[in-house]
Every structure is written in C-alpha cells, then in structure tokens.
Amino acid sequence: MVGDSWTHKVARVCILPLINTPVTPNHITVLRLITGLMACGLLAIGSYESNLWGGILWLISAFLDRADGELARVSGTTSEWGHKFDYFSDVTVTALFFIGIGIGLRDSPLGFWTIFMGLSASAGVVAAEVLAEIIDQAQKDVGKKAYAGFAGFDFDDVLYLFAPIVWLNLHFPFLVGASIGAPIFALITWYRLPNNKF
C-alpha cells in the first residue's frame, strides 16, 4: 500500500541516493529496530538527559520506519518477508515505548504502578496493531486501511508526537491515558473486524 503522507514524501526523497546500492530496505528496518530499542531503553532510565536522547532516537526510528518502506517501493524490492519484519519491528518498538516510560516514571507519585500501566498500554497497542493488520490485509485489494489519515498525515504519524510529549514532561498523564485508552482502542478495532458479528 503506497503511502502518500508528508513523511512518506520526505522519506522518498531521502532514500533516492540508496537506490542501486548494497543498502536494502531490511538494512533500514534493522536500523529502525535498533534505534527504537535504544530509545525505549533510554526512556526507561527516566533522567532528563536520557529522555532527551531517547526522544531524539525515537524520532530517528520513526522516520526510518517510513524510509524502509519507501526504499522497498521505489527500488522494486518489496517482499512478504520484508513486510512482516517491518510490521514486527513497528509493533515491538511502539509497545516497548510505553513499558519504557512506565519504568522511567517509577519514582512518580504512583510509584511502581506506572510499570503496570506501561504493560497495560503495551498490551493494548499490540492487540490494536494485530487487529488493524488483519483489517488492512482484508481491505488490501481496495486500497483501504483500518485507520485512514487526513490532510497529508497518516494515522500512525502520531508517533512523532511521543518525543515532544516526553521532552515537555507530559508523559505521566500520557501514560495514564494510554493505559486505559490503548485497551479500549484495541476493543474498538476488534469490533471493526470484517464479518465481526458481535
């Protein structure tokens, strides 16, 4: 499914020098996964400096998530395995973000409850991502997605906001909301499954 959001367009320009080079989309996905895991690890430390660098790595990882798909499409190297690897990386990194900030907020007024909140948000994210993928695959022939974007932004462009939320020290209320909202969002996505009779 060809992306046409603003970040897809920027990524499309950035990957042009990589066409006809040994660099493959899977190489970029590996780099996306590594930077994402490093970002989550830094956020789990919870200090000002670690949150700063964790946010920077998070933005790089989010952009690389666009770049790998664009390189695959432009160079004609798309593959089923590459899609699954990219999907696995996306789900893993996004889910671990909430666990990371939950651990990082362990010294907040809620103490270690933030870790359980991170796990709740993470479980909701995984469930929603899996269900959305089922919907996307079912609608692939008609070019529709489970959650369409608007005004040049994809639904998952919201991931770019995660870094500023941490930098502005808003990740505590964000985690509280996500620990409740992500499981609810997963239920909404489940309800939208094709042929769901409930």
**Mean pLDDT comparison of 97-101, 158-162, 190-194, highest-scoring range:** 97-101
Answer whether residue 196 shows pLDDT above 90.
no
What's the pLDDT tens digit per position in 89-130? 999 999 999 999 999 999 999 999 999 999 999 999 999 999
Give SS3 for 79.
Answer: coil
The stretches of the chain forming alpha helices (DSSP H) are: 6-14, 25-45, 48-75, 80-104, 113-138, 162-167, 171-191
What pLDDT shows up at residue 50? 97
Task: Identify the pLDDT of residue 15.
Answer: 84
Do the domain assignments include residue 198? no
The Cα–Cα gap between 140 and 195 comes to: 16
Can you give the pTM of this predicted structure?
A: 0.89
Find how far residue 76's CA is from the centre of its chain: 24
Opening angle at CA 188, ends 184 and 194, nearest 5: 150
User: Of 127, 56, 128, 184, which is closest to residue 64 (Cα–Cα)?
Assistant: 56
Are 183 and 127 in contact, with CB atoms under 8 Å apart? yes
* pLDDT (0 to 100) of residue 3: 56
Tell me if 70 sits within 8 A of 3, measured CB to CB: yes
| CA distance between the termini of the chain | 29
pLDDT for position 1:
46
Q: Look over the chain and give the mean of its residue pLDDT values, rounded to a whole number.
A: 89
Helix axes 113-138, 80-104, angle to 10 degrees: 160
CATH code, 50: 1.20.120.1760
Q: How far apart are CA 131 and CA 188, in angstroms?
A: 10
Q: Which domain holds residue 19?
A: 6-191
Question: For 73-100, what is the mean pLDDT?
Answer: 92
197 in any annotated domain: no
The residue type of 142 is V
C-alpha–C-alpha distance, residues 179 and 65, integer Å: 24
Instruction: Please give the Cα distance from 34 to 31 (Å, whole number).
Output: 5
More confident residue, 124 or 83: 124
Burial class (CB in 10 A: 0-12, 13-18, 19+), 87: middle
In a domain, 10, yes or no: yes
| Structural domains in the chain (count) | 1
- The per-residue pLDDT for range 130-157, each reduced to its tens digit, is 998 888 888 776 666 767 666 667 778 8
Backbone angles phi, psi at 59, to 5 degrees: -65, -40
The string of pLDDT tens digits covering residues 14-66 is 888 888 889 999 999 999 999 999 999 999 999 999 999 999 999 999 999 98
Q: Could you tell me if residue 1 is inside a domain?
A: no
Decide if 31 is inside a domain.
Answer: yes
Strand partners, 150: 153
